[in-house]
């Protein structure tokens, strides 16, 4: 068998195919490098925020949800917002902090003016509030809004005593 130098040389067709293969591999490696760098960057960001391995979008979502929880807890705690207004209230803490049901609307009951039966008015108020799911403490807290003029003064004295016990 005779070895000729031309048998070891690539033809231009072979060379082109080989170069295309190399370029294709380089492209794949560049894509992988880009993806790995992006992943490292997100991990570095997560690590710098105290949560290694957690993607940035999850951390941002977590911060958003924590802010929402904080807002909701502030809305659910009426004592913070009303503290100055109820500081001198005759009501107990349970009554002052009683929470009304969600989407509560006041029943359409005429204010008590002192000219009708007060027991009947109180029973009507209690029945309407119970239908709406309002607890006893919340009923006591908002009952004062159902009196007019002098009835407010006289009936208020009678109502506050049982509510504070």
DSSP state of 53: T
3-state secondary structure of 112: strand
pLDDT digits (tens, 9 = 90+) for 43-53: 665 555 556 67
- Indicate if the pLDDT at residue 78 is higher than 70: no
Q: Is 78:99 a contact under the CB 8 Å cutoff? A: yes
Q: What is the pTM of this model?
A: 0.39
Q: Where are the domains of the chain?
A: 12-75, 87-163
How far apart, in whole angstroms, are the C-alpha atoms of residue 40 and residue 111? 68
Q: What are the Cα distances from residue 81, in Å, to 16, 75, 96, 106?
A: 77, 9, 12, 21
Higher-pLDDT residue of 28 and 85 is: 28
């Amino acid at each position: 068998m005779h070895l000729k130098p031309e048998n070891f040389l690539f033809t231009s067709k072979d060379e082109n195919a080989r170069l295309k293969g190399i370029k294709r591999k380089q492209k794949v490696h560049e894509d992988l490098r880009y993806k790995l760098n992006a992943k490292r960057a997100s991990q570095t960001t997560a690590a710098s925020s105290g949560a290694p391995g957690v993607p940035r979008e999850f951390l941002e979502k977590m911060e958003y949800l924590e802010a929402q929880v904080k807002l909701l807890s502030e809305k659910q705690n009426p004592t913070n917002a009303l503290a100055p207004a109820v500081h001198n209230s005759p009501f107990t803490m349970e009554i002052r902090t009683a929470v009304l049901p969600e989407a509560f609307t006041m029943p359409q009951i005429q204010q008590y003016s002192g000219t009708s039966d007060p027991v009947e008015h109180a029973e009507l108020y209690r029945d309407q509030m119970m239908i709406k799911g309002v607890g006893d403490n919340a009923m006591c807290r908002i009952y004062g809004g159902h009196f007019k003029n002098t009835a407010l003064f006289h009936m208020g004295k009678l109502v506050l005593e049982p509510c504070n016990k």
